[in-house]
Structure 1
Amino acid sequence: MIFKISTADARYPLGSGAGSDAIHRNPIYSYAVTNLHDDSGHTGTGFAFTLGEGNDLVCKAAQFFADQLKGRDIEELMADFGKVFNELSNEQQFRWLGPHKGVAHLGLASVTNACYDLWAKKRGVPLWKLLIDLKPEEIVNTLDFSYLEDEMTKEQAIELLQSNIGGKEERSKIIEKGYPGYDTSIGWFNYSDEKVRENVHKAMAEGFTAMKLKVGSKEFERDIRRSHLVREAAGDSATIMLDANQQWTLPQALEICPQFLSMNPYWIEEPTHPDDVLAHKVLAEAIAPTKLALGEHVPNRIIFKNYLQTKSAGFMQVDAVRVGGVSEFISVSLLCKKYGIPVVPHVGDMGQLHQHLVLFNHISMGHEALFLEHIPHLQKHFVHPVNIKGGVYKTPMEPGSSCDLKEF
C-alpha cells in the first residue's frame, strides 16, 4: 500500500554551452520528481522533465495527483490504470489548465511514471521485463483510449498486440545485443565549429554511427555550413539528423529546409511550432522524400493522432516525461504501429526511462529497433545510469525503470 508521498525539485545547471538549442540557450536540466513510498519497503520514482523555471509548479501538480493515490495498492491501481489515468487527467479544476498539456499534464507524467516504477520494483523486475511479460489485455488496461476511438479502440489495441506475439522470441534477442543509440551532444547550438568537429570524431570513436546537429540560426548560412561540416567530418555513411527546436516559421522552413538536402539529412526535427499540424503537412510534402521528426513538445495522444492522420511526420518522438507518462507513451506507440511510423523517443531524461520503453516497443509491438537518443550530461546523478558501449544501450537488469536519483 502507498502510505507516503514526496516530491522534489531537482535542478542541474549544465554550463559550457551543453544542452543549448535555437530556442533554449541556457537550459537548466530539471526533474519534477515524485516518490511513492510503499509499505513493502519499495519506493516508486518518476519524473517529468523541464528546463528550470516552473519546475516547482510541476512538483505542486504532481503532489496534487499523487495524494489521490495514498492508501492504494499498486497492483490494484495498475490492474485498471487506464481508468485511473482518465480520472486524474480530467480532474475538473486541473483540466482547465490544459486540458492534457502544460504544467498539469507534466505533473501527471511524474506520478504515472512513479506508478510504473513501483509496479516493476514490487515484482522484482526491470520495467521492460514487466511490460513484455504482460498479456495484451493487461497492457491495454493501463491505457486511456478516450479521444482515440476513431482510430483505435481497446479491442483493436489488443488485436494489434496479439498479432505481434509470434515474433516476440526472435525480437527478444535485442536484450542480449543491446539497443542502438545516437549522439545528440556533438552539436549543441552554442558550440563552436571546432568543438562540433571534435565531438563528431569523438562520437565515432565511441562507436556511434548516428548523430544530431542543432540548427535554427538567424543566419541560415551558419546552419548550412555546420550541417556540411558534420557531414564532412562523419563521412557519407553516417546518419545525421538536424534539429531546429521550433525556431522557424513555415515560410522560413520552406526556404531553408531544401538547402539542407544536399548534405542528405536523415530527418529534420521540430522545424516549426509543435501545435501547427497543417504547417508540418505542407513542409513534409515540400521536402519529400526527406522526412520530418517531431514529438518532443507534442503534449498528448490526441495531437499525435492528428499528426499521424495528416501524414505530417516520418518519425515520432513521443517522450514519456512530456506526455502523461508511460501509459500515454504506450498509447501513442500503438497508434504509430498502426500507421507504420517509427517511434524514436526524445530523451530529455537521459534515456533512463526510454531504454525500457523502446525494448517494449520492439519486442511486444514489432516496432523497428532504429536507435535511441543519448545525452550524457546527467548520468552521474542516477543510481543506475544508462550503460552505453560501442554506441549501444546495454539492457538494464535492475528492478524498476532506472529513474532513481542519488540525491532524491
Structure 2
Amino acid sequence: MIKNIQVDDIRYKLDGAAGSDAIHTDPVYSYAVTRLFDDSGHTGVGFAFTLGEGNDLVCKAAQYYADKIKGRDIEDTMANFGDLFKKLSNDQQFRWLGPHKGIVHLALASVTNACYDLWAKKRGVPLWKLLTDLSPEQIVSTLDLSYLEDELTHEQATAMLKEQQATKTIRESILQKGYPGYDTSIGWFNYSDEKVRENCKIALEEGFTAMKLKVGSADPERDIRRAHIVREVAGDSVKVMLDANQQWNLPQAISICNKLKSMNPYWIEEPTHPDDVLAHKTLADAISPLKLALGEHVPNKITFKNYLQTRSASFIQVDAVRVGGVSEFITVSLLCKKYGVPVVPHVGDMGQLHQHLVLFNHIAVGHEALFLEHIPHLQKHFVNPVNITGGVYQTPQEPGSSCDLKVLK
C-alpha cells in the first residue's frame, strides 16, 4: 500500500552553453519528482521535465494527483491503470487548466511514471522486463484510449500486440546487443563552430553513427554553414539530424529546409509551432523527400493522432515526461505502429526512462530499433545512470525505471 508521498522541485544548472537551442538559450534542466513510499519498503520515483521556471507549479499539481492514490495497492492500481489515468486526467476542475496539456499534464506524467517505477520495483524487475512480460490484455488495461476510438479501440490495440507475439523472441536479441544511441550534445545552439567540429570528432571516436545539430539562427547562413561542418566531419555514412526547436514560421521553414537539403539531413526536427498540424503538413509536402521529426512539445495522444492522420511526420518523438507518462507513451506508440511511423523519443530526461520504453516498443510492439537520443549532462546525478558503450545503450538490469536521483537518497 502507498503509505506516503513526497514531491520535490529539483533543478540543475548546466555548464557553459550546454542545452541551448534557438528558443531556449539558458535552460535549467529541472525535474518535478514524485516519490511514492510503499509499506513494502519500496519507493516509486517518477518525474516530469522542465527548464526551470514553473517547475514548482508542476510539483504543486503533482501533489494534487498523488494525494488521490495514497492508500492504494500498486498491483490493484496498475491492473486497471487506464481507467485511473482517464479519471485523473479528466478531473473536473484541473482539466480546465489543460485539457491534457501544460502544467497539469506534466504533473500527471510525474505521478504516472512513479506508479510504473514502483510497480517494477515491487516485482523486482527492470521496467522493460515488466512491460515486455505483460500480456497484450494487461498492457491495454493500463491505457486510456478515449478520443481515439476512430483510430484505435481496445480490441484493435490488443490484436496489434497479439500479432507481435509470434516474433517477439526474435527481437529480444536487442537485450544482448544493446539499443543504438545518437549524440545530441555535439551541436548545442550557443556552441562555437570550432566546438561543434571538435564534438563531432569526439562523438565518432565514441562510436556514435548518428548526431544532431541545433539550428534556427537569425541568419540562416549560420545554420547552413554549421550543418555542412557536421556533414564534413561525420562523413556521408553518418545520420545527421537538424533541430530548429520551433524557431521558424512556415515560409521561413520552407525556404531554409530546402537550402539545407544540400547536406542531406536525416530529418528536420520541430521546424515550426508544435500545435500547427496543417503547417507541418504543408511543409512536409513542400520539402519532400526531406523528412520531419515531431513530438518534443506535443502534449497528448490527440495531437499525435492528428499528425499521423495528416502524415505530417516521418518520425514521432513522443516523450514520456511530456505526455501523461508511460501509459500515454505506449498509447502513442501503438498509434504509430498502426501508421508505420518510427518512434524515436525526445530525451529530456537523459534517456533514463526511455531506454526501457524503446526496448518495450521494439520487443512487444514491433517497432524498428532505430536509435535513442543521448544527452549526458545529468548522468552524474542518477543512482543508476544510463550506460552507453560504443554509442549503444546497454540494457539496464536494476529493478525499476532507472529514475532514482542521488539527491533524494
TM range (shorter): over 0.9
Q: How does 1:356-395 map to 2 (within 5 A)?
A: 356-395=356-395
Match of 1:398 in 2: 398
Aligned partner letter, 1:188 = W
Q: CA deviation at 1:345?
A: 0.1
Which digits, 9 at most, give the CA deviation of each residue in 1:153-179, with x for residues without a partner? 000000000001111111000000000
Q: Distance in 2 between matches of 1:80 and 1:363?
A: 23
CA RMSD of aligned residues (A): 0.3
Q: Secondary structure at the match of 2:33?
A: strand
Match of 1:47 in 2: 47
Q: CA deviation at 1:15?
A: 2.6
Say yes or no: does 1:166 pair with 2:166. Answer: yes
Aligned partner letter, 1:69 = I
Q: Secondary structure at the match of 1:47?
A: strand
Q: Distance in 1 between matches of 2:304 and 2:312?
A: 10
Q: Secondary structure at the match of 1:96?
A: helix
Q: How does 1:254-403 map to 2 (within 5 A)?
A: 254-403=254-403
Aligned partner letter, 1:395 = T
Which digits, 9 at most, give the CA deviation of each residue in 1:370-403, with x for residues without a partner? 0000000000000000000000000000000000
Match of 1:153 in 2: 153
Which digits, 9 at most, give the CA deviation of each residue in 1:191-223, with x for residues without a partner? 000000000000000000100000000100000
Aligned partner letter, 1:273 = H
Aligned partner letter, 1:75 = E
Q: Secondary structure at the match of 1:396?
A: coil
Q: Distance in 2 between matches of 1:8 and 1:183?
A: 29
Q: How does 1:53-68 map to 2 (within 5 A)?
A: 53-68=53-68
Match of 2:210 in 1: 210
Match of 2:144 in 1: 144
Aligned partner letter, 1:282 = T
Q: Distance in 2 between matches of 1:189 and 1:292?
A: 19
Match of 1:183 in 2: 183
Match of 2:237 in 1: 237
Q: Secondary structure at the match of 1:407?
A: helix
Q: CA deviation at 1:98?
A: 0.3
Aligned partner letter, 1:382 = F
Aligned partner letter, 1:284 = A
Q: Secondary structure at the match of 1:60?
A: helix
Match of 1:197 in 2: 197
Q: Distance in 2 between matches of 1:33 and 1:227?
A: 36
Q: Secondary structure at the match of 2:401?
A: coil
Q: Distance in 2 between matches of 1:270 and 1:345?
A: 13
Q: How does 1:31-180 map to 2 (within 5 A)?
A: 31-180=31-180
Q: Distance in 2 between matches of 1:221 and 1:173?
A: 44
Q: CA deviation at 1:118?
A: 0.1
Q: Distance in 2 between matches of 1:318 and 1:95?
A: 21
Match of 1:226 in 2: 226
Q: Which runs of 5+ in 1 are unaligned?
A: none
Q: Secondary structure at the match of 1:44?
A: strand
Say yes or no: does 1:30 pair with 2:30. Answer: yes
Aligned partner letter, 1:89 = S
Q: CA deviation at 1:290?
A: 1.1
Q: Distance in 2 between matches of 1:15 and 1:218?
A: 24
Q: Secondary structure at the match of 1:164?
A: helix
Aligned partner letter, 1:336 = C
Q: CA deviation at 1:289?
A: 1.1
Which digits, 9 at most, give the CA deviation of each residue in 1:7-64, with x for residues without a partner? 0000000031000000000000000000000000000000000000000000001000
Which digits, 9 at most, give the CA deviation of each residue in 1:276-317, with x for residues without a partner? 000000000111111100000000000000000000000000
Identity, % of aligned pairs? 77
Q: Secondary structure at the match of 2:93?
A: helix
Q: Distance in 2 between matches of 1:397 and 1:97?
A: 38
Q: Secondary structure at the match of 1:12?
A: strand
TM-score, normalised by the number of residues in structure 2:
1.00
Which digits, 9 at most, give the CA deviation of each residue in 1:61-81, with x for residues without a partner? 100000000000000000000
Q: Distance in 2 between matches of 1:130 and 1:288?
A: 40
Q: Distance in 1 between matches of 2:94 and 2:330?
A: 23
Q: Secondary structure at the match of 1:46?
A: strand
> Which deviates more from structure 2 when the two are superposed, residues 284-293 or residues 376-385?
284-293
Q: CA deviation at 1:185?
A: 0.1
Aligned partner letter, 1:325 = G
Q: Secondary structure at the match of 2:41?
A: coil
